[in-house]
Amino acid sequence: MFANEPRTKAVLCEHYINEKQKRGNTMKLNGSQIIIECLKEQGVDTVFGYPGGAILNLYDEIYKHPELKHVLTSHEQGASHAADGYARATGKVGVCLATSGPGATNLVTGIATAYMDSVPMVAITANVGTPYLGKDSFQEVDIAGITMPITKYSTIVKDVKKLADTIRRAFAIARSGRPGPVLVDVTKDVTAAMCDYIKQEPKKELPVTDTITEEDLTRALKMINKSKRPYLFVGGGAAISGAQEEVLELAHKLQAPVCDTLMGKGTFPGTDEYYMGMLGMHGTKGANLLVGECDLLIVLGARFSDRDVGSPKTFAKQAKILQIDVDPAEINKNVVVDAKISGDLREVLKRLLPEIQEKNNEDWVAEMKAKQELVNDVVPENVLTGPYVIEKVYEVTKGDALICTDVGQHQMWTAQYYKFKDPRQLLTSGGLGTMGYGLGAAIGAKCGRPEKTVINIAGDGCFRMNMNEVATATRSNIPVIEIVINNHVLGMVRQWQTLFYGQRYSNTVLEDKVDFVKVAESMGAKGVRVTKPEEFAPALEAAIASGEPTVIECVVASDDKVSPMIPAGMPNNKIYDQEDMKNWKN
């Protein structure tokens, strides 16, 4: 040490101070304490979980740390969805905890949901003691192996000396590049074993820029500046990168219409003059038809999901396609493109925008406005319907609420009729389509953004899958609002049975004696049933004013359909409205 340096008093003094500080920061802690300290290092303020035998050491330590808020959910799947909702609403890493065996496997659906939608989440599970691994011990399961295909990284820690670095690495992986879930499994003996711990400040994750090349930028600029009819297609990656200001500037500079995916909602304001609506199966007519008329489709953080592009062989065949995405694996995966830029979307746009020429193409703008006239079906005011409910939610909340959904018709109505103006405002399971996602996500979102009104919009089928989380909301005094659009059927599945299966309604009718209002009240929440249009807005206003968990059941007709609709695998111009569906023939 210092072999090539003069042993001056100043150097020796500095060395002494550094060594003293290092020793002062060193603490002898057990594994559970190390996990808590690592969570605090990462800025975690809230975790969601459910205790059990293998994870008791960690929960005993949580008891001693009231500064770390723990939300006890009613089911581990609810904990994973809550961590997901917290992450989507805040942009931070969500954290969930579960014990071994069934506790860990109950997280799987929530982890897969986060994986499909690129949500940063760290799931920490406990396993049986190291000597009992591989022996079919009680509640033993290889959760790291089970979750390997649905995580960015999964591992088991069997040495307490590796624990702190593994937790730190988990957070770094979860939030870097294209975000996603990470699972860390810790054996029970490691949660009790002692080890030196030295606090570390987490490194700031920088946007991915090393893959952005001048060649790709130059080619993209030539395509953009040459185009006469540019069209922007905005996906969830734009929201994740925080590129909303750049996307807005790009659209107005190019006078380009903008469509989005379900995950991209709010990145470009739904109230803007250039907004066309959602693309794809249940997007607007205008958004879908314009794809066939542009000469350049600029794809911003979207992955060409089958629900968006319908038929990849015919999608935007008349246009050049430029795809910008942080994940190179998504480029040319579903649709072959003409040019690409791989890297953080916001950073890419920052480099492109100064070189992009402003456009003034009156003909293209006129075509855009004509397509905007092809609006969704007119919502009747004299009958309670799903679209009516969504429109009133928008009016009452003035478009400022955080909106969660489950999956089904209500999800598509929400995407169609609520004008999202900010990213991270819509929380929904897009890629996996997880029924039962919404209420847990709403609880997580409210914990992360307590100043916001948080509403989950569900169908009756979905509410049956997560209604136990109402007890989580009341137990922890988390004032979320659950709106159940109750049509007494599995609405989206029934819609497909009507259109494609000869009206054979196999196991999709939910007519039974379940009373959702009484269910809500039995778990300590307020319950309200709405059957007439004029009853809904006052019920929602009262729920918001009460500051209490509230369930509002809205009873609607069984055969209302989501329209427009493009049949699966069909081109985007084969889009059918409500009248078309009335005359549908199988």
Name the residue ranges covered by the structural domains of the chain: 22-198, 214-372, 386-562
- Residue 527's pLDDT is 98
pLDDT digits (tens, 9 = 90+) for 421-432: 999 999 999 999
What CATH architecture applies to the domain 386-562?
Answer: 3-Layer(aba) Sandwich (3.40)
Task: Compute CA distances 557 → 291, 334, 461, whole Å.
Answer: 34, 37, 14
Name the pLDDT band for 585 (thresholds 50, 70, 90). Answer: low
Query: Can you tell me the mean pLDDT for 273-279?
Result: 97
pLDDT digits (tens, 9 = 90+) for 460-488: 999 999 999 999 999 999 999 999 999 99
pLDDT digits (tens, 9 = 90+) for 385-394: 999 999 999 9
Kindly state the percentage of the chain with pLDDT values over 70.
Answer: 95
| 188 in catalytic set | yes
Q: What is the DSSP letter of 404?
A: E
Task: Compute CA distances 528 → 411, 518, 525, whole Å.
Answer: 21, 9, 10
CA atoms within 13 A on the CB side of 346: 15
- Residue 94's pLDDT is 98
Q: How confident is the prediction for the chain on average, in pLDDT? A: 94
Task: Compute CA distances 99 → 37, 54, 473, 508, whole Å.
Answer: 19, 6, 22, 34
- Residue 2's pLDDT is 30
| 76 in catalytic set | yes
Distance from C-alpha of 174 to C-alpha of 151, rounded to nearest angstrom: 9
Distance from C-alpha of 471 to C-alpha of 524, rounded to nearest angstrom: 7
Query: Can you tell me the mean pLDDT for 119-136?
Result: 96
Instruction: Give yes or no for residue 400 having a pLDDT over 50.
Output: yes
Name the pLDDT band for 4 (thresholds 50, 70, 90). Answer: very low
- Structure tokens given for 383: 């009958």
Give rounded-to-5 percent helix, strand, coil for the chain: 40, 20, 40
Instruction: Give yes or no for residue 283 having a pLDDT over 90.
Output: yes
CATH number for region 214-372: 3.40.50.1220
Distance from C-alpha of 124 to C-alpha of 411, rounded to nearest angstrom: 30
Distance from C-alpha of 470 to C-alpha of 482, rounded to nearest angstrom: 9
Kindly state the percentage of the chain with pLDDT values over 90.
Answer: 89
pLDDT digits (tens, 9 = 90+) for 402-458: 999 999 999 999 999 999 999 999 999 999 999 999 999 999 999 999 999 999 999
- Residue 20's pLDDT is 41
Query: Helix, strand or coil for residue 430?
Result: coil
Instruction: Give yes or no for residue 163 having a pLDDT over 50.
Output: yes
- Residue 500's pLDDT is 92
Query: Can you tell me the mean pLDDT for 237-254?
Result: 98
Contact status, residue 406 vs residue 462, Cβ threshold 8 Å = yes
Q: Of 4-13, 79-88, 173-182, 298-307, where does mean pLDDT reach its minimum?
A: 4-13
Adjacency order of strands within the sheet including 46-49: 69-72, 46-49, 94-98, 121-127, 181-187, 153-157
Contact status, residue 479 vs residue 548, Cβ threshold 8 Å = yes
Distance from C-alpha of 557 to C-alpha of 506, rounded to nearest angstrom: 18
Q: Residue 49's closest CA among 91, 88, 107?
A: 107
- Residue 21's pLDDT is 43
The one catalytic residue in 76, 246, 391, 553 is 76
Write the CB contacts of 21 (distance below 8 Å, at least 6 apart in sequence).
none
Beta-bridged to residue 459, according to DSSP, are 485
Q: What is the DSSP letter of 271?
A: T
The one catalytic residue in 40, 69, 139, 249 is 139
Report DSSP letters for 187-232, one per residue: EHHHHH-EEEEE--PPPPPPP--TT--HHHHHHHHHHHHH-SSEEE
Distance from C-alpha of 511 to C-alpha of 514, rounded to nearest angstrom: 9
Q: Which long-range contacts (CB under 8 A, 24 or more apart) does 536-542 make?
A: 536/384, 536/388, 536/389, 536/392, 537/392, 537/395, 537/396, 540/392, 540/393, 540/396, 540/481, 540/483, 541/396
The one catalytic residue in 188, 359, 446, 561 is 188
Name the pLDDT band for 378 (thresholds 50, 70, 90). Answer: confident
- Residue 221's pLDDT is 98
- Residue 26's pLDDT is 85
Are 22-198 and 386-562 the same fold in CATH? yes
Report the sign of the C-alpha dihedral through residues 566, 574, 260, 208, in that order: positive
- Residue 376's pLDDT is 63
Contact status, residue 54 vs residue 32, Cβ threshold 8 Å = no
Q: Residue 389's closest CA among 442, 455, 445?
A: 455
Q: Of 319-328, 329-338, 528-537, 575-584, where does mean pLDDT reach its minimum?
A: 575-584
Instruction: Give yes or no for residue 280 having a pLDDT over 90.
Output: yes
| 467 in catalytic set | no
pTM comes to: 0.94
Instruction: Give yes or no for residue 582 having a pLDDT over 80.
Output: no
Q: Residue 529's closest CA among 551, 544, 498, 504?
A: 551
Distance from C-alpha of 417 to C-alpha of 415, rounded to nearest angstrom: 6
| 41 in catalytic set | no
The one catalytic residue in 20, 138, 245, 395 is 138
- Structure tokens given for 211: 């893959």
Options 3.40.50.720, 3.40.50.970, 1.10.510.10, 1.10.10.10; CATH for 22-198 is 3.40.50.970
